[in-house]
Each structure stands twice: as C-alpha cells, then as structure tokens.
Structure 1
C-alpha cells in the first residue's frame, strides 16, 4: 500500500504572481519557491488542482511547467459509476492560461511528441461492487489489443500441494519440519492470475489468512515453475521452496540444504537463524530493545567470531566490529546479550580507549559485546557534535553559513544530525582509517563533506545550493597524500525556470573551463538532445509513448556522429528471430559505430519466465545479413541456473562464424561445480572441465579452468586475494577494502622481461574517492641492461582474460603528480596524464560503447570501442577494444571495471560475463527467492542490470505514484499491482514519488540505488550532487547512509509526530460490561504520517471482550502512536492481523458515569515487527454507574477489522 502525495508548498491567495485562476471552480493552488532573492521569488513551481461539485479532482494544471513555458495539464474523468477507469498522460498545451482551467486540454495532444497515439491507460472493471480489475490496457495505439489480464478464482482439486510443519524448540528457536499433507481440495484457496501483454501467466494461491502459499510461473501447458511458502504453527514463514526443489517428487535433507530457504524464530517472534540455499546457517542476536546486535555466518563461526553493532540511547548505530564469541552457541550468545539491560553506549568527553591509533569517545564497557572480547573495530559514527580531533568546523562554505555544534551560540545546531563517520580498512593488522565529516547549512542541508583517506590525504566537496537545495556549484578538492599538491575540480550548473539542468561546466585546476553537457528537452521534459565537450558531439534521444528509450542518434544514418543505437520493443524487423514484445522486454537492437561503419543487430527471443533464450546477431546491410557471427544461446533449469550456453565468434581467417563455446554446466544445488566445453576452443571460455569448489558461505574458492587456484574473502565476502596456479609469486592479485566494502587498492604481481633481464613487477592501483592512481614496484633479479618493460598479456593469458577480445593498452608515460591517472566526470573521465576529457556513448544499460576525445591537434578521436554479447562478454577480434593496467578503458560492461581475472567488479560481487553468473551468493538473495542466488539480472541482461551485485532494481507506478520496489521487473510489475514500470536510471516528466514531497520541477529521476529526486539531473543519472561529486557520494557518505536514514525532517520528524500522533480517530462506541461482557466501536481513522498518509479515512470496527464495570454509549476521539519509524507506518496497521503475528490489542478504560459519561481509554497493540501501537481516547456520552462507585473501570482484549478504506491502493 502506498500513499498519494499532495505536494506541500505555500498556498498563496494574494497576487504575488499574475495567476488568473478560474474562480468559478473549486481548486487548490500550490506554489513552491524554487528560488528566492530575500524579498520575492524568482522561480516558482505552480500547480492548480480543480475539483468537480462532488469534490473529485477533474484537472491538474502545472502552470508554465514545460520547457517552452507552457502549461502541462492532466485531464481526469470518471465513468457513470464515479470510477476513474482512464488515466491520462499530462498534455503540454499550446500556451499558458496562468493557472486557469483549460476547457479542452486533450485537443493539443497531437501537437506534442504524443502525436496520434492513445494517451490514456484504461482499466476494465468487473461488474460488481468489488470493482476488481479484469484488464489493464496501457497507453499507445499498439497496446490497445494487448491488455494485462487479471483473473480471480479458486483452486481446483490437485492443483496445489498441501505442506505443513511440525515445530519443536531447539536452542531457544523454532525448528520446523516440513510434512506432506496431500493436495488441497477444490475451492480451498484463492487463485489470482495475471497474464501479461505477451501471454505469460503468473498465478498466486493464498489461503483464508491471506498468506501466499504458492506462486506459479506457467512455462508451458505441461510445465510450471512453482515456489512454495510454508508457515509454521505460529504463522511464521518457516520455509521457501524454490521451483527446482518443488519439482522433485521426493527430496531429502541434502536437497533442502542446497536449495531451500529455512527460517527459525525465538519466543519473541524474532528471526534468529536462517539457512539460504548453498550457504550454511546464519545466526542473529538481539538486545532487550529488539535491536540486532550480533550476526554470524559460517566463516565467522569457524573462527569463533561475531559481527557486532552498538547503539546509543536513541538507537542510532554508533559502532560496528568483530568480536570473539561470548559462548559456544547462538543461545549462549543471546543469553549474554540479555544480561546487558538497555545495552546503550553513551558519548564520553574523554578518550574511553585507543584502538589502532583511533581514539574512541564512547563508553564501550557496559553493553554487548564484552569489552575484552572485542577483536576489531570496523566503523564509528558520531552525532550531535563533532568528535575531538575533527578538523575545525568552517564558518562558511561557498558563501553559506555552516551549522555549528555548540547550541549555546545559536538557536540551531547539529544536534540530531550525523556529524562524523570513521571506517577502518578491513584487514585486522591494517590500521588505516577513513574519516568522513559532514557539514550543514542553517537549514540542515548537507553542503560540505571532508573525507580524510587512510594515506593521510583528503577529499573535500563543497556545494553552493540555491533556495530549493539545487546545487549551483560544486567544488571538489583532493590530495592523495598530505604532501601532494591539491587538485581542484569546479563544476557549475545552469537550469531553466523549472530547474531542469541546461548546462554543466567543468574545470580542472586552472585549466580552461569545459562545457561537459548542454541539454535540450522536448515538451514532455524528456531529454531530446545533449551536446557534450563544447559540442564535440551532438547526441539525439527518442522515446516511444510508454516513455521507453528508442533511439540514441540514428544508426541508419550517423551523419558525422560516432555512434547510433535503436531499441525496438513491439516493432522488430527480424521477426523470425524476434517476435514483437509488449511487456517491456526488448525485442531488437541496432547499432553502428563510425570506426567500422557496419550496421549491426541483435534480435532477442525469451522463455515464458522472461529469461533470455537467444541473441541472434546479424548485419542487415551485409551481403550475407544472417551471419550469426556473435550469436549467444542459453538454456536454464527451473531456478534460472544456466545449463547450456552456446556462443559464436568471427573466425579471423575465414570471416565466417565459428563456435567458440558450447558449455554444459553441472550443479550441486545452485552451486556450479563443473563446466564442459565441447568446442575445445579456448578463444571463448577456457574450458577444462575442472571442479569448482566453494566455502561454507557459498563463495567460489578456486576455478582451475581459469587457472585460479585460490580465492580468499574478507568478512564481507569480498575477494581480497586471488592466486593463479602456475605462476608462483608472479600470479597474485590482492585487494584492500574499507569495512563498508569500498575498494581502496588493488595490487597485481607479474613478471615482465626487457632486453636482458626479467623483473618482478607489482602494479598498485589506488582508488580514492573516484580518483585512480597507479604506481609500479619493480624488482630487478640481477644483471644489467635496459629496464624498459615490454608490457604484454603473457601473465594474463595464463589467467582468465579473454585476450582475443582486447588490444593491449598503449604504453603510458610515467604519470605526473603522485601517479594520478584519471578520475570520473558526469560524461566520462578526465585523463590526467594527457589533460584530456574522455566522453562516452553508453547504451540503455550503461554499457560503455564508445570512448572518444578531442586530440591534441583538435580532431575527434575514438579511444575505445566495445561490442558485447548479451551477457556481457566483449566480442572477439574487433580491434577497437582496449584493456590495460589502471586505465579508464577497463570500465566497460554496465560501466564496471574489468579485472585481470576477467571478472567485473560491481562492488558487492564479481561478475563472470563469459559464464553469465556470479561467483558468490547474492547478499539480498531472499528478495529473489524464486531465482538462483547466483543468477545475473534475472537472466534478462537486455532489460536489467545489477547496480552493485546485490539486486536487480526497478520502479513501479501505482495510483500516479512512482515507488522503488526490490525485484520489480518489466515482467512482474502487473502481478504486484503496479500500472507501469521503469528501469533504474530512467528520467521521466515530473511525477510524484512515494515518500517524497513533490518538487514540480518538470523532471523526475528514478535512480539506480532506489533513490529518486526531483532535483534536475544530467543525462547519465547522477543525482543531487552532479558530475564528479556523484562518484564521491557513495564513497564518502556510504557509511552514514544507514544512519542518516533514521532522521526525517519536516512533517514526518519525530518532533512533529510527538505532538500530532501517527493516527487520529473519531467514532462511537458501546460497551456492556458488568464484571464480564463485551463492546463494539465504529471509527473513522486518518493516517497522518508515513508513506500512506492521506486525507481519505478508513472505517473500522473493533469488537472487544473484557471484565470490570462499564455500560455506556459514547462519542470517542483519540490518537495512536507507532513506536517505530515513520517510514514504516502503513494503513494496514489499523487492522489486527494475527495471521502475520499481530497480538490482539490490550485495552483499559476508566470513566465517571452518572447518567452522563466521561472517560479515558488506553490501548496497546504489539505488531509483528515487534513495535507497538500506543493509543489513547477521550470518551464522552451516556453511561450507567454500575460499579461499587460512580467510577467505572474495565479492561480486556480486542481485534480491529476494516469496513472500508476510502484511500485507493
């Protein structure tokens, strides 16, 4: 359930602007200042919402919101039953009426990019009071006959297996054993079916409690992929049985260990043990406040260690680390935590301890874990004030006063804000720390960060924000070492009247200013053209009626441009290989690069689960178009593990297609154990058929086929050392990370030979806040002679690198100024060794297709060109792709860095494009339990990416609100109740975002990390802090993101909630209790806070039973507070859901009754998550004094049921 947001701005009834509203209509006018000079607004975002006589919205006017300053109007209409069955796209008008109602807003649609397309989505509702959706027809003429269909039914006999559990208690936790109970009989389960536009069916079965028991993906008339959800006797989810396991007629303990999800809970309904497929047990320990304080996976358990988390009295995370176990089992660990009372640490004015050179200003002796058991501190967070030893707080940053931490000198301070975060390097004997400080303006907005790296240098980012918080200028100052010369990057931004980004300028040190990008938008606020590099290239963009990108330039006619790209969904050309797709899958892509000037095409076909089946390569303009030069074909098991992968490449001798891979995968559960290549061609995957081994966490330990003899991992399951089998000391790659997973250094040891001697060379790559450095340590093994190194792939060829795909990077002159090689910009990179801006063409997935620059002679040159197979491996023998040591050219597929192991570093995991899978378990595997935890992007790499190796993400539209949902895809959004879907990184016209106040800027960015923004963006998807600073954002503030999320400003702040409550209710009640009895109340409830706050009430009834003395009929008014975060509040909390673990409400009432009645009622409800709803009511009415005295008292339990919710889900 999501809320409909009403933009909160300033309501003006004066003539501050020349608004000419239609005062014969009902309306709400909202103005939001986008800029303000101190006396008058200089930029305004204005919206007028008009209502009909029944109070229903009928038109929304975004005044002068289009790029040409014209009104953008959304028409709203209802059918004869008062239902809104058509949802219209906003239509730009031919001019502006300054806020007046537009008589015929749809008439101008044909003059906009919509053209003659159908601009409304339509719901076909069933003819019943339930108004259930039977069909959802999307916008666009081509979708008129392609509805999403919804079916509501009951199961038939023998359709669903009945599974139940027998639960015992072991070590203080539930232990549920699955039992087979035959099949469900007819009409025992609800059956809901969603059929997407391409006829793919998903069926969900629920029981009478509303629990999902099974989700079925229909593969064919004879085969299904079924995922079962099994609950224990306490209605807790105990097992998830993925399709590959549920397909087995009989399975044993080994099958469950390899394929099933198992969960165990303690007596307080807390998850304390879980078992993921292919991964050993994980344990959790909580304190008495139900805060997670300890976690342990199998690798930590083997060392007798736990990961711990410490909190302050406000439950803010202050410290994490690794400690020695307090006992010999999880239960003993839990029992020890139970002895720690409040378990909150307090800030100390002096040094409580010194750890590895880090002074700690918190008490560390009172809580869990025991002080002398602490093995390693990993992170420290400070709030309210800056810790001793922090740099001096600047008085101003870019002209804005900085919020100080001393409340004695100001009415406002940093109290309640995160101020500093320290993160240690991961290795126990590495004493390096990164220290991050955040500075705020007097409005509490972050305007500066100061990060001191573990080498002693720093990165400072200073932002100049306007009235609305939009960055006007961002200055980045950086040093690797304290002795280095400071480098400074200055970025300036220009916006239009609705804060759409127009110009992005960039300057390095005192070099000439470079215009990175100049943006032009169409009247729908879609980016239509971008000029990069002082007009080095002019890039055109096109979209279809669904808002999906269809073109980057025109590959059929480059007209002097370096790259062209066409995406086809429902209108492919090569239909024998790629039938049209209407559900969001991409059917076909064409592309052309100027370096070879060949029009190339991939035509895609899919399985019913929307997994990629075949990528067919052709060259439409060639003599033999269907060349199949770079075909890729795949088969999968029911869990989505690849079982067969066939791949072609161009034979460099004949020019015809040859098979380079015909791989057959062997598994133990989801773990890949063996690969056999029947082609015996090492040009693709190396082959060899050797055994692949794993540790207890499911991390790949060795892969002899790639000559990887050993991989070591840190506590984050990130590889910190790779050894290559036949290279001795010359074949080692080592990685250094921060404790939050940020990579700091890579060291690769290899052998190189000159004219006379051979050398041992260790190449060091430093990663410091986006700046990349290179240095080499060379050991001469004796003799003399030329020390010039002959760089080659001799070492890499013994590893896993697809050397046929790349040309060796050219020799680079020794890097100047402490080895700085390059750093990123919003449009590519800056090559510091050449003082050269590198620009890039990226496709819709962020894959680097072309890197280009202005040469020293001023001419345009291509520096790197990449073509990819569908799952990301580079095409072989193209001649234009480069790979080298620490170069921007190593950033390729999905924009990630390719390693010498032929794996891409995504941050949380390493991806193997030649195999189409990861080498370790997904840290967020439970969000995608129907898929293998090793799958890449739901096996649909044409539509999805994994942003950091943890999850494929998407955005869904429901009731006009965009919200981010884990594992939402273009194929499953309808079955989850959404009306439309967008990939991460999409830019759409201004649309409300769930959980945010509308900015009405004309543009909304749906970000890659689940963060959306109304602040204008540039085309590559950087949010809030643009360009180079966007790269720093994750590195610098990543350690505080989990804690800063605990703060919410404005209406949802804890201060406001303490005054208003989270729910208010008004109603009537009757009770008849004389020693024992019952009562009932009927109430209107409003949700005031959280993502589902609304003016629309919900009607509930609350039957109760109890004891005491109370007979009355009253009018009641009260409020309810939720003890958790505002972001967790849902309307469903109003209703008692014992099936989900809610405990019936405990209530108590006291009143004075003597004909009249006045009293108070207090309630407490424990919810499934462990938090409470605490309520209070005033009761006024009539009553009888039945008790021994006129003061009546009673108490009991009650459940609340929903009668009707006016809020539309």
Structure 2
C-alpha cells in the first residue's frame, strides 16, 4: 500500500480484504445495520505517499441512503455525520458528532419539495425535544419557485428579493437596511447597472453609495465598470482581451480615482500562460502541467501540485519594508474527491531560511520554522464544509440552506448578506450587530477603503474561502487570483472547451456567470439558438405531450440556458414556441442551484 493514495473497500470491511492492514473501523461501526452490499463501505486517502492515512467509513439504510459517515482525518479525532430522511429521500435532519462539538440541524420542506427552513437544535444531545429547535433561516417562494424572502431567527430579520418579468433578480434588501442592491439588465441579460447601498458601508473609510454602469464587447466580455456615484474614475475598471479570452489590459482605479493597478498582460509566446502584468521581469513561472509555481505579484513561491493539479504546498511572503516581513509555508491536504480537509501553516521571520524539513513534526519542522496554524475541515457526505477546527479546537460550524447562509461560533450565530453572485457583502450576529462588511470589484478583488473587519469572514467572493497565506480563493478544483482575474491552474475540463483560454474566469463576464467549484463555468450551456434547438431535439420525442425538466443531458436541470448570440433563453418559453408542453418536475429539481446564477 506504500504506493497508493486512495483505497476503496466495497460490501464490507473484513479480514478477507487484501488491504485490511490499512483499515481499522471506528467504535460502533459494526453495531449498526449496514446495507453496504454493492456499495462503498470505506475509503482510505492521503495527499502524498509520505502522509499518514485518513479514512471515511459508511453505513446505509435499507434504501441505500448514507445513514452514518465516520471521518478519521489525520490529526483530528473521529467525527461522525448522521442523517434522517423523508419519504422523498430528502435529508430531514443532520447530526454532527457527539460531545462538545455536537450539532443537530432540522430541514423542513413544502409539498413541492422546496426547502422551507433550517432549524438548529439547542437542547441536550440525548433528547430530540421539538421545543428546543430554533429557526436559523427560512424561505418564501413566488409562483415561479424563486426565493422572495429569506428570514433569519424566525423572522426577526432577513432579506427580500424582487424579480423582473424574465425571472432575473432586480432588487434585494435586508429588512434592517444593512445591505441593498438593485440590478437592471440589457436585452441579452448582461447586467447594465448595479446599485449598492445600505448601512453595511457605514464603517468603511469610503462610505459612498456605489452605482455602476457596465459595457461589454460583442462576445459579452466585460469592458468597463464605471461608478457614476463617485468622483472621476473612482472605483472604475477597464479591460481588454485577446481572441482566446485572455485579459490583455486591466486598469483598476481606487478611492478618489487614483490608478491602483495598470496591468499590461504579457504571455509566453504561443501559450495562454501569463508572463507578467507589470515591469520587465517575469512574474509568473509554471510547471509542466501549466500550474503557477511562482507568483511574484502575490509574493508566492515554490508552489507544488499533485497529480490532480491541486495545490498542495506553497511559500508566501507578507509585508513590505520598512514594515515587518513574515514568511509562511503551507501544506494542503485533500480527500479522495479533491475536497480540502486540512491546512498546515508554518511561520518564519528569516529571509534566508530554507524550506520546511519535516512537515509532520509540528514542534520542530526545522530551519527556524514554527507552527502558525493547523486547520481541519470536517465535511458532509456531499462534500460541503460543516466545521472548521483550528489547532485541534472547534472554531466554527457552517449552516447550509440553499447555500451557505451563515455560521455558528461558540454560542453566537452569524448570518450572511450576499449579492446576486453569492459574494458575502455583510455579516450580522444574532443581536443584529454588523460585524463584518466588504465590497468587491467585478473580478472579486477587495475594494480600497471598503472593508470592515474583513478577516472575520473568510468566505468572500462568490462565497469562496480566501486564503490569507497565498491570497487566492479556494474554489474546490482550482484556486483563483482575484487581483488579475485568472485561475492559477488550467481548466480540469480543458478538453471540453478548446475555444477558451484554460485560465479564463467565467468567460470574462463575472457579473452574471459563476463557477461553483472551479471546474466549469457551464460552457456546455454556451451555444447559439440553432445549437440549442438541435440539442433539445436530440432528447425530446416530438410525439410526447409533456416534457419534464429533470436531469436533461446538456442542460443539467437548468431552466435558463445562456447563448452567445441570444443571451438567456427561458426553456419554458422555448418549448411553448415549439408547441411542446413543458413543466418543472419540482419534486426532484435541485433548488440548491439558483438558476439565475447559472449554478
């Protein structure tokens, strides 16, 4: 087993398995009904051959649904995740672990299978008294199944959303006016204007409202973002591109209209690899797989990637003379699916210090390095992050509704205010105090003098975690650099999209498109109208009277399809024009994917 990184066992973990010497099931594993025949019973995984094995063990109910999962991540005690389901196979309760880090969530749905509420259990672990449940968040929907209200704490505060006649978000406001935005669109559904205001900005150094107007080229790529509410050029963005979608120039103006970044992108000849954005020296170096190993702009060096092109090691310099200079060395650990489960960071103040000699020796890693931080991330069966542990102590729980809606730290609950892309703009606690706020430019870079206590909210642009030890956003399959609007590694699905640069972020339209996991900005939904027609014809029998929207190949259950020439197409209208009756199968439609975000 010394050469393997992942080992899976199916049916049962018994002494007949040739790799049984790797597995030691946790206490209670054999006490539960298993129903594991033909299913995954256990997984062992590690990121490097020198790492200690980590494990997951599974038990199922009679319908093949995961009943309990045990996680044994190296450096962390055993953690369990248990589920109860309703008759439609939807999770109605989730129990995380036992003891000090126990947490229980209850999920409620309406008759159509839409998520109505997420409740947290505040009572003793050994009981399940309904009176101990408190609402964390709940939802109201319009007849088109779009969320129109999201309440927090049972309605003491919350948010409301409005839509135009094409189902696009037109307005959002929090009930205490902490965060408000309005959107207007072009006919092809590109965002024309965006207004942002509210008390979330009261703690900024710059407290002005933002009113942006946007322009695009014929390929729907963002050309400019002009803040019409500020002084000349204040917070303005200007971009140009080559034919592959690589950015050629980016001008970023800051508070007062000063030019903060004047980037001219130079590429290695015949490639999409960025060489530099300023000066005459090369700022970016790559490995043979096209991953950035040196990033002088963000002061990152010696980056290492695994066989999946996942970042597993990096060194970072923080500070500029005469201020204090600190050096950080970080290793990342992933599970068998590529989800990050651990982050280990060492610190040094010696500019001439060598590399970390012994990563597994946290008390003496060598060359003057000392332990700065050790994080473990416990995840659910679906890969969603449930809990973060810092230096083996519980840090915070994360609460999931239709997306990550907030967190719990100690006895305090926190709730997120998000824009239409899912970026966290404000955070309030359960006493309705604004504890964090931030504004981003179009590429996700934090705006000058428009951040308040930003370090307390690690989830930022499009809800992704921003790593302080490399200044990248962790999306899952890749890391994103918001300073330059590019990925630091190539598209994992490169072979599907030869017509775009593999480092391109969401087709250069970051105001309407998102990439939920770093794998694909849904380019399989990019086509012209005739191509969409051919796609649908290939999956529809013209003789049928009704077409059900469930897992449609090529559209992945989305009602709205984005086309190069015609913008967003509402498939209900499309089918109507084609004289084909159509409706949603709302019992199986994935409401965790917001169609207006192209999730």
TM class by smaller structure: 0.7 to 0.9
In 1, the alpha carbon distance for the partners of 2:218 and 2:417 equals 32
Matched-pair contact (CA < 8 Å) for 2:512–2:597: no
Q: Give the alignment's Cα RMSD to 1 decimal.
A: 3.9
Matched, 1:711 2:303: yes
In 1, the alpha carbon distance for the partners of 2:407 and 2:188 equals 39
In 1, the alpha carbon distance for the partners of 2:183 and 2:484 equals 25
Q: CA deviation at 1:897?
A: 1.0
Q: CA deviation at 1:853?
A: 0.7
Matched, 1:352 2:21: no
Matched-pair contact (CA < 8 Å) for 1:1007–1:1021: no
Q: CA deviation at 1:391?
A: 4.5
Instruction: Select which of 394, 413, 431 maps to 1:820.
Output: 394
Query: In structure 1, what is the equivalent of residue 159 of structure 2?
Result: 539
In 2, the alpha carbon distance for the partners of 1:991 and 1:943 equals 26
Matched, 1:837 2:429: no
Query: In structure 1, what is the equivalent of residue 577 of structure 2?
Result: none
Question: Counterpart of 2:200 in 1: which secondary structure?
Answer: coil
Query: In structure 1, what is the equivalent of residue 490 of structure 2?
Result: 921
Query: In structure 2, what is the equivalent of residue 898 of structure 1?
Result: 466
In 2, the alpha carbon distance for the partners of 1:599 and 1:660 equals 20
Instruction: Select which of 246, 249, 263 maps to 1:663.
Output: 263
In 1, the alpha carbon distance for the partners of 2:313 and 2:266 equals 26
TM-score by length of 2: 0.77
TM-score by length of 1: 0.40
Query: In structure 1, what is the equivalent of residue 578 of structure 2?
Result: none
Matched-pair contact (CA < 8 Å) for 1:752–1:760: no
- Aligned counterparts, 1:1029-1178, within 5 A: none
Q: CA deviation at 1:892?
A: 0.2
Instruction: Select which of 35, 42, 55 maps to 1:434.
Output: 55
Question: Counterpart of 2:462 in 1: which secondary structure?
Answer: helix
Q: CA deviation at 1:919?
A: 1.3
- Aligned counterparts, 1:945-1024, within 5 A: 945-953=514-522, 958=536, 960-962=547-549, 963=552, 965=554, 971-972=562-563, 980=571, 998=585, 1000-1001=586-587, 1004-1005=589-590, 1007-1008=592-593
Matched-pair contact (CA < 8 Å) for 1:973–1:980: no
Q: CA deviation at 1:765?
A: 1.8
Q: CA deviation at 1:695?
A: 1.1
Q: CA deviation at 1:389?
A: 7.6
In 2, the alpha carbon distance for the partners of 1:494 and 1:841 equals 22
Aligned residues: 525
| CA shift in 2, pair 1:760/1:435, >3 Å | closer
Question: Counterpart of 1:926 in 2: which secondary structure?
Answer: helix
In 1, the alpha carbon distance for the partners of 2:294 and 2:18 equals 44
Q: CA deviation at 1:1006?
A: 5.3
Matched, 1:642 2:214: no
Matched, 1:471 2:108: no
Moved more, 451-460 or 715-724: 451-460
Question: Counterpart of 2:433 in 1: which secondary structure?
Answer: strand
In 2, the alpha carbon distance for the partners of 1:761 and 1:837 equals 29
Query: In structure 1, what is the equivalent of residue 362 of structure 2?
Result: none
Query: In structure 2, what is the equivalent of residue 764 of structure 1?
Result: 374
Matched, 1:614 2:251: no
Question: Counterpart of 2:495 in 1: which secondary structure?
Answer: helix
| CA shift in 2, pair 1:640/1:489, >3 Å | same
Query: In structure 1, what is the equivalent of residue 209 of structure 2?
Result: 599
In 1, the alpha carbon distance for the partners of 2:504 and 2:180 equals 30
| CA shift in 2, pair 1:443/1:971, >3 Å | closer
Instruction: Select which of 774, 794, 802 maps to 2:390.
Output: 774
Asked which structure has the greater RCO (Cα within 8 Å, sep 6+), the reply is 2
Deviations 1:635-661 (A, max 9, x none): 1110001110001001xxxxx210011
Query: In structure 1, what is the equivalent of residue 114 of structure 2?
Result: 500
In 1, the alpha carbon distance for the partners of 2:523 and 2:277 equals 35
Q: CA deviation at 1:925?
A: 1.1
The gaps in structure 2 that reach 5 residues or longer are 126-131, 203-207, 320-324, 351-367, 380-384, 526-531, 541-546, 574-580
Matched-pair contact (CA < 8 Å) for 1:630–1:648: yes
Matched-pair contact (CA < 8 Å) for 1:850–1:866: yes
Matched-pair contact (CA < 8 Å) for 2:304–2:314: yes
Question: Counterpart of 1:461 in 2: which secondary structure?
Answer: strand
Matched, 1:937 2:506: yes
| CA shift in 2, pair 1:763/1:497, >3 Å | closer
| CA shift in 2, pair 1:749/1:552, >3 Å | same
Matched-pair contact (CA < 8 Å) for 2:116–2:138: yes
In 1, the alpha carbon distance for the partners of 2:553 and 2:418 equals 24
Matched-pair contact (CA < 8 Å) for 2:561–2:568: no
Instruction: Select which of 173, 183, 188 maps to 1:583.
Output: 188
Matched-pair contact (CA < 8 Å) for 2:562–2:568: no
Deviations 1:997-1025 (A, max 9, x none): x4x54x8435559xx9xxxxxx9999xxx
Instruction: Select which of 270, 278, 293 maps to 1:701.
Output: 293
The gaps in structure 1 that reach 5 residues or longer are 1-304, 311-316, 320-344, 360-386, 396-401, 406-413, 479-484, 570-580, 620-624, 651-655, 678-686, 776-817, 983-989, 1013-1018, 1023-1209
Q: CA deviation at 1:864?
A: 1.1
Matched-pair contact (CA < 8 Å) for 1:822–1:831: yes
Q: CA deviation at 1:729?
A: 9.2
Query: In structure 1, what is the equivalent of residue 361 of structure 2?
Result: none
In 2, the alpha carbon distance for the partners of 1:975 and 1:952 equals 18
In 1, the alpha carbon distance for the partners of 2:425 and 2:572 equals 25
Matched-pair contact (CA < 8 Å) for 2:318–2:326: no
Instruction: Select which of 726, 731, 734 maps to 2:328.
Output: 731
In 1, the alpha carbon distance for the partners of 2:176 and 2:17 equals 65
Bigger radius of gyration among the two? 1
Instruction: Select which of 750, 755, 762 maps to 2:347.
Output: 750
Q: CA deviation at 1:394?
A: 5.0
| CA shift in 2, pair 1:903/1:615, >3 Å | same
Query: In structure 1, what is the equivalent of residue 440 of structure 2?
Result: 868
In 2, the alpha carbon distance for the partners of 1:660 and 1:463 equals 50
Query: In structure 1, what is the equivalent of residue 576 of structure 2?
Result: none
